[in-house]
Amino acid sequence: MLVNFFASLIRWSKSNQSSVFRSNQVAYSLFIAFFAILMAAPAKAARLESWRFNASQNQLEITTDAGVQPKAQLVSDPTRLVIDLPGIVLGRPVINEALSGTVRSMRIGQFDRDTTRIVIELAPGYTLEPSQIKFRGISDRRWLIKLPTPQLASTSTPAVVAVPQSPTPSRLNDSELAAIESVELNGSSNQLMIQANKPIRYSSRWDRSLAAYRIEISPAQLGKSVKGPELGAGSPISRIKLRQENSQTVAVLVHPATGVQLGQMNQPSQQLVTLQIQRARLLQSVNTASNTVSNTASPRVMPVFNPAMATTQVPRSPNGRLLVIIDPGHGGPDPGAIGINGLQEKGIVLDIGTQVAVSLQRQGIQALLTRADDRDLGLEPRVQMAEQSNATVFVSIHANSISLSRPDISGLETYYYDSGLGLAKTIHQNVLQLTGVGDRGVRKARFYVLRKTSMPSVLVEVGFVTGRDDASRLSNSAYRTQMADAIARGILQYLQQAARL
Ligand SMILES: [Zn+2]
Write the DSSP string, 416-470.
Answer: E-GGGHHHHHHHHHHHHHHH---EEEEEE---HHHHS-SS-EEEEEEEETTSHHH
Inside any domain, residue 495: yes
pLDDT at residue 22, as a whole number: 39
User: Do 108 and 203 share a domain, yes or no?
Assistant: no
CB atoms within 10 A of CB 168: 16
pLDDT for res 105: 87
For 259-298, letters b (16+ CB in 10 Å) and e give bbbbeebeeeeebebbbebebbeeeeeeeeeebebebeeb
Give the range of the structural domain holding residue 157, as residue numbers without chain letter.
6-165
Q: How many domains does the chain have?
A: 3
Q: Is residue 1 included in any domain, yes or no?
A: no
**Is residue 426 included in any domain, yes or no?**
yes
| Same-domain pairing of 135 and 191 | no
Residue 482 alpha carbon to ligand 1 centre in Å: 20
How far is residue 298 from each of residues 37, 90, 346, 400, measured CA to CA in Å? Answer: 11, 16, 9, 19
Identify the pLDDT of residue 275. 87
Count CB-CB contacts under 10 A for residue 15: 8
- 461 as an active site residue: the answer is yes
pLDDT of residue 29: 38
Please indicate, yes or no, whether residues 220 and 349 belong to a single structural domain of this protein.
no
Residue 392 to residue 390: CA distance in whole angstroms: 7
Pairing of strands 88-89, 457-464: unpaired
Residues 137 and 67: their CA atoms lie apart, in Å, by 10
* 157 and 185, same domain (yes or no): no
Tell me which of 121, 216, 413, 461 is the catalytic residue: 461
CA of 256 to the centre of ligand 1 (A): 24
Rounded-to-integer distance, Cα 454 and Cα 330, Å: 21
Cα of 106 to ligand 1 centre, how many Å? 34
11 inside domain = yes
Q: Is residue 296 part of a domain?
A: no
Same domain, 354 and 442: yes
pTM to 2 decimal places = 0.43
501 residues of the chain, pLDDT tens digit each: 223 322 222 223 233 333 333 344 444 334 333 333 333 333 356 888 888 888 888 888 888 888 787 887 777 777 888 888 888 888 777 787 888 788 888 888 888 777 888 988 888 888 887 777 887 777 778 888 888 888 887 644 433 444 444 444 445 566 778 999 999 988 777 889 999 999 898 888 766 567 678 899 989 999 888 888 888 777 888 889 999 988 889 999 988 775 566 677 888 888 899 888 865 433 222 333 333 343 333 333 233 333 333 223 344 444 456 889 999 999 999 999 999 999 999 999 999 999 999 999 888 888 899 999 999 999 999 998 888 888 899 999 999 999 999 999 999 999 999 899 999 999 999 999 999 999 999 999 999 999 999 999 999 999 999 999 999 999 999 999 999 999 999 999 999 887 765
Residue 136, in any domain of the structure: yes
User: Are the C-beta atoms of residues 305 and 369 closer than 8 Å to each other?
Assistant: yes
If asked whether residues 149 and 188 sit together in one domain, one would say no
Q: What is the pLDDT of residue 432?
A: 97
Give the three-class secondary structure for 14.
Answer: helix
Query: Residue 69 has what pLDDT?
Result: 79
Residues 13 and 149 in one domain: yes
**AA identity, residue 314:** V
Residues 433 and 398 in one domain: yes
Closest among 215, 172, 195 to 67, alpha carbons compared: 215
Closest C-alpha to 190, from 217, 223, 229, 227: 229
Query: Is residue 295 situated within a structural domain?
Result: no
- What is the Å distance from ligand 1's center to 326 Cα? 14
Q: Among 165, 191, 222, give the residue marking a domain's end.
A: 165
Residues near ion ligand 1 (Cβ under 5 Å): 329, 336, 398
| Single residue among 235, 262, 279 that ends a domain in this structure | 279
Same domain, 465 and 433: yes
CATH code for the domain of 238: 2.60.40.3500
Q: How far does residue 328's CA lie from ligand 1's centre (Å)?
A: 9
SS3 345: helix
Q: Based on the fold, state whether residues 145 and 193 are members of the same structural domain.
A: no
- Widest CA span in the chain: 82
Residue 500, pLDDT score: 60
User: Are 83 and 226 part of one and the same domain?
Assistant: no
Supply the pLDDT for residue 261. 64
What is the CATH classification number for the domain harbouring 382? 3.40.630.40
CA-wise closest residue to 109 among 179, 57, 158, 51:
51
One domain for residues 130 and 32: yes
Q: Count CB-CB contacts under 10 A for residue 187.
A: 13
Distance 497 CA to ligand 1 centre (A): 29
Contact 381, 238 (CB under 8 A): no
